[in-house]
Amino acid sequence: MNHFELREGALWCEDTPLAEIARVVGTPAYVYSTATLQRHYRVFVEALGEHESLRGALVAFAVKANSNLSVLATLARAGAGADTVSEGEIRRALAARVAPERIVFSGVGKTYAEIAFALEVGVGQINVESEPELGAVASIARESGRCAPVAIRVNPDIAAGGHAKISTGAAESKFGVSRGEAERLYAAAAADPALKVRGIACHIGSQITDLAPMASAFAVMRELVLDLRRGGLPVERLDLGGGLGVPYFNQPDPPGPQAFAAVAAKAAEGLDVQAVFEPGRFIAANAGILLASVIHVHERPEGRRFLVLDAAMNDLIRPAMYDAWHDLRPVRSRQGPRRDYDVVGPVCETGDTFARARPLPPLESGDLVAFMSAGAYGAVMASEYNTRPLAPEVLVRGAEWALVRRRPTYEEILAREPAAPWL
Ligand SMILES: *Cc1c(COP(=O)(O)O)cnc(C)c1O
């Protein structure tokens, strides 16, 4: 459920008409709903809370899904921790007042400087993804006189996810270590006084709509916890990652948080571990939209009808990169027979196509439209390709709203590039 609804023939976000936001900040623009962010976080935590083995779990929002500071602060206030993959994201989480011990630091290529920074600010868990990385974390910890809290990221050799580019759990993917290697690294970490090994972690993919691979991966993790303990090694945390899919409206509803929690609970049952989760998309996707305006409707004599928008692939890359489907709704309801439109942006690439032959009511130049479910992997993946300024971001709370990232001016964009002195 989300808080983008039709009222009197127009699309609103909570108690704010989207047309009002577009009038003030212009388009394209991202709009997020506070109530939806809070609701999704709460529903997730409540689903976990129904299981003894998952009570007290750390729910660390995957910052890469939506890293806007006001979005992070909204979730931090609701109680969320943060799953981060760079120093920049750790800095964002801290700026949004996530307590350092509630920050998880993941990623296959953490640099020396990033690891040193994570240790200095005291993140709660560094997910180590390889043997060389374990060595690096240990030596940086020794040099700085700190003890590094680590978890070993296991690649359970089970692939899942809505698209090959967002599947991370197969043996040939770059993420984590094999189960056998994990046991060896875990023992090495436990024996190193510069490291405090807290547990094991996995994350097998994103936009997962089938719980079976998750159940298999979690079963591998459970077995590993038991094996490590049989070997006399302490395991205090079990991090089961993120990946739960969301409905993008053209699919059957994916499994909800209750079904997901039941699968996770089965894996954690009786282990007496603190569970950790890293949901991103589930929390943020349906809490945001991308607002755009129609520039032209261009009908070719041979039949194709193009809806040319002022939003493009640089603003929302998911359709171009993952063949993703986003529902597109007119902001003011239009009467009339639906016709097929190819929905495109102004960028000079054929890939700048949001949808082909999409049935939509009659639309004209100047109309506002909304790409639904754009709150995750939307603004964060935007670029200034074609020197198009980054779309601004707006956070709505009831009848009030705030510009939480402004659109850069052309002067700001050009000023970032000092001329070479010989020019
Ligand atoms: C991307 C990612 C997540 C979040 O995935 P979602 O599908 O958005 O829930 C969680 N953990 C790790 C390690 C990730 O890379």
Tens-digit pLDDT profile for residues 77-127? 999 999 999 999 999 999 999 999 999 999 999 999 999 999 999 999 999
Whole-number Å distance, alpha carbon 174 to ligand 1 midpoint, is 14
Pick the atom of ligand 1 nearest to 285's CA: 8
Residue 350 is predicted with a pLDDT of: 87
Return the number of other C-beta atoms located less than 10 Å from residue 275's C-beta.
Answer: 24
Q: Cα(369)–Cα(90) distance, rounded to whole angstroms?
A: 34
Is residue 328 located within the same domain as residue 396?
A: yes
Percent of the chain whose predicted confidence (pLDDT) is above 90? 91
- What is the Å distance from ligand 1's center to 161 Cα? 11
Task: Confirm whether 202 is a catalytic residue.
Answer: no
State the CATH number of the domain containing residue 401: 2.40.37.10
Atom of ligand 1 nearest to the CA of 201: 13
Position 78 in a domain: yes
Closest atom of ligand 1 to 284 CA is 8
What share of the chain has pLDDT > 70, as a percent? Answer: 100
What's the CATH number where 133 sits?
3.20.20.10
> Is residue 423 one of the residues assigned to a domain?
no
Domain with 57, as residue range(s), is 34-281
Confidence (pLDDT) at 1: 65
Q: Is 267 helix (H, G, I), strand (E, B) or coil?
A: helix
CB 342 within 8 A of CB 355: yes
Contacts of 147 (CB under 8 A, 6+ apart): 141, 193, 194, 195, 196
Q: What is the pLDDT of residue 200?
A: 98
Which of 281, 308, 334 terminates a domain? The answer is 281
Please give the mean pLDDT across all residues of the chain: 96
Probe residue for ligand 1, chosen from 63, 203, 322 as the CB with the greatest number of ligand atoms within 8 Å:
203
Do 127 and 46 share a structural domain?
Answer: yes
Is residue 165 pLDDT above 90, yes or no? no
Q: Is residue 422 part of a domain?
A: no
Residue 53 pLDDT: 97
Q: Which of 13, 147, 202, 348 is catalytic?
A: 348
401 and 252, same domain (yes or no): no
pLDDT for 374 equals 98
- pLDDT at site 171: 73
Structure tokens at 82: 């943060």
pLDDT band of residue 250 (cuts 50, 70, 90) is low
pLDDT value at residue 91: 99
Q: 50 and 10, same structural domain?
A: no
Assess if residue 411 is contained within a domain: yes
Where a domain ends, among 281, 310, 339? 281
The total domain count for the chain is 2
Going from the Cα of 280 to the center of ligand 1, the distance in angstroms, rounded, reads 6
**Residues near ligand 1 (Cβ within 6 A):** 62, 64-65, 83, 106, 203, 206, 241-244, 278-282, 376
- What is the pLDDT at residue 4? 96
Decide: pTM greater than 0.75: yes
Q: How far apart are CA 336 and CA 367, in angstroms?
A: 15
Q: What is the pLDDT of residues 299-336, one digit of tens each?
A: 998 889 999 999 999 999 999 999 999 999 999 999 99
323 sits in the region (left: phi over 0; alpha: psi -120 to 50; else beta) called left
- Rounded distance from Cα 294 to ligand 1 centre (Å): 33
- For residue 243, the ligand 1 atom closest to its alpha carbon is 7
Q: Which residues contact 152 (CB under 8 A, 6 or more apart)?
A: 127, 128, 134, 176, 177, 182, 185, 186, 189, 197, 199, 200, 201
79 and 225, same domain (yes or no): yes
Residues 153, 172: one domain? Answer: yes
Based on the fold, state whether residues 190 and 98 are members of the same structural domain: yes
Judged against a pLDDT cut of 80, whether residue 192 lies above it is answered with yes
Gap between the Cα atoms of 199 and 271, Å rounded: 12
Once rounded to an integer, what is the mean pLDDT over residues 192-200?
A: 98
pLDDT, mean of residues 19-40: 98
Boundary residue ending a domain (281, 307, 336):
281
